[in-house]
Amino acid sequence: MSQQTSKNWLLFVFLTLLWGTSFMQITLSLRAFTPEQLVPWRLVLAAMVLIGYMFYRRQRFPRGLKHWFKFALFACLGNILPYWLITTGQQTITSGMAGLLMAVMPLVTMMLAHWFIPNERLNRYRIVGFVLGISGVMFVLWPNLLAGSNSVYGALIVLLAACCYAVNTILIRLYSNYEISVVSAGVMLCAALISSLLWPQMWQVNWSQAHLESVIALIWLGIFPTGIASVIYFILVKDAGPTFVSNNNYIIPVIAYTVGAWVLGEQVSHWDLVALVVILLGIAISRRQIIN
């Protein structure tokens, strides 16, 4: 294994751990902060990291309102709305459940790409994969419709967050032709500014009274899984390719569910485990290629 390949794998493992444990950090942060406080502070911290990375690469923000309108749109669909939905959802569902449900994002992206991205047509593998993924979601939701520790409302809005990520992915692919560090910093800056205007209660946080564990979780969430993880993601996409990075879709739900059970003591349901297997199988099948 070459030195470059080893570096890519190390970065991949670190990125997957950061994203996989972010749901646990959200749960810990919610013990002291509301979603309307947590989300903007998370975005402010991440914006500082990404703007620093952009300047390190000696890039500059573009001029013109049309560029910033795009950044604001990406910020709303890819950061502000899904972050708030996930955080609000995790008030009534476990972190493991949230991570499990977010696994449907690549399947929704695949379906949208069929309609909006050239040369991304559905085939039998993608259709079967999507059906399996939706079946996995039903494995999760049905027991909670009857009885369970997770609310259906919380699960549904986390699924809506996954759909927001999918729509944003399509829009970025269609309408973004910027240098990666520029678009990431611009989007995160817009997200921080807009969210601070939407939720001025972020400035009402009594830091001295907040639980230290929650404060550390919030700072970690903003700097590492949101800010530094984005930098690592950009490096890996450039050096190893998007297909290599996309393999974390198989691992992140497993990490989120395992960490939630192990660290937070969240209940493990056999229905959830079945759903996890079915959704991951759906992702795997959807990525198979038809050989003519």
pLDDT at 4: 67
Cβ-in-10-Å burial (0-12, 13-18, 19+) of 243 comes to: exposed
Query: What one-character DSSP code corresponds to residue 223?
Result: I
Model confidence, pTM = 0.90
What does 166-177 look like in DSSP terms, one character per residue?
Answer: HHHHHHHHHH--
pLDDT per residue as tens digits for the range 142-178: 776 556 667 889 999 999 999 999 898 888 888 878 8
**Which tokens hold the place of 135?**
């079946």
What is the share, in percent, of the chain residues with pLDDT greater than 70? Answer: 94
Scan for tokens 């349901």, then name that residue.
269
pLDDT per residue as tens digits for the range 216-225: 999 999 999 9
CA dist., res. 133 & res. 135, Å (int): 5
Say how many C-beta atoms besides its own lie within 10 A of residue 111's C-beta.
17
CA dist., res. 70 & res. 139, Å (int): 37
Averaged pLDDT for residues 41-58: 95
pLDDT per residue as tens digits for the range 278-288: 888 988 888 77
What is the share, in percent, of the chain residues with pLDDT greater than 90? Answer: 51
pLDDT per residue as tens digits for the range 181-218: 898 999 999 999 999 999 999 999 888 888 999 999 99
Are 81 and 190 in contact by the 8 Å Cβ rule? The answer is no
**More confident call, 68 vs 244:** 68
pLDDT score of 14 more than 60: yes
User: Which of 156, 140, 158 has its CA nearest to residue 148?
Assistant: 140
| Length of the chain in terms of residues written | 292
CA dist., res. 25 & res. 31, Å (int): 10
**Which tokens hold the place of 88?**
């609000």
